[in-house]
Amino acid sequence: MRSYVDGMLRYFEFSGRSTRRQYWLFWLATLFLGAIALVGDNQLWGYWPTAYDEIGPLAAFVGIVHIVPGITVTVRRLHDLDRSGWWYLIQFVPLLGTLLMLYWMICPPREPNRFGPDPREDYGMQTADPYRAPASTIPRQVRMGSGQPQRVVNEHEADAQRFI
């Protein structure tokens, strides 16, 4: 679940790296949500997609919401393999591109890497359990703020701080 939430929190973030675990668990959670949406569409409105039919509104919503994070987590996974995110476009080559992308998503990471630190490390600190992924690859200061109270100089600065 953390891998899915991490992928959604990094909605537009193409930089950095994502592990195999983050990649596959993100797609597994997305597949699960899509299946729930399909069943919901069937139960609520009678939609059941066939080869010649349209999908229902819940499945369309789940699909649209997950387009961008699906692309970004794939690009970050390519970065973990020390490949440019532009390799994502190889999927447009029929069959060969899809098979090559599937192979890359299964491959182990390459170290050292030009796209940032290893996401399996907890920002310079090794995790006690090598099989446990870190809670998030987003530093705590970025996710939650610095934890330090903000000193407000005037009311205009207070308005600016509210929207940051």
Task: Give per-residue pLDDT as tens, 112-162.
Answer: 789 888 887 754 444 455 555 555 556 554 554 444 555 555 656 555 544
CB of 137 closer than 8 Å to CB of 6: yes
pTM of structure: 0.71
User: Domain ranges in the chain?
Assistant: 2-122
The 10s digit of each residue's pLDDT in 59-86 is 999 999 999 999 999 999 999 999 999 9
Integer distance in angstroms from the first to the last C-alpha of the chain?
Answer: 27
How far is the C-alpha of 133 from the C-alpha of 3, rounded, in Å?
Answer: 9
Structure tokens at 153: 């100089």
Cα separation, 137 vs 27, in Å, equals 17
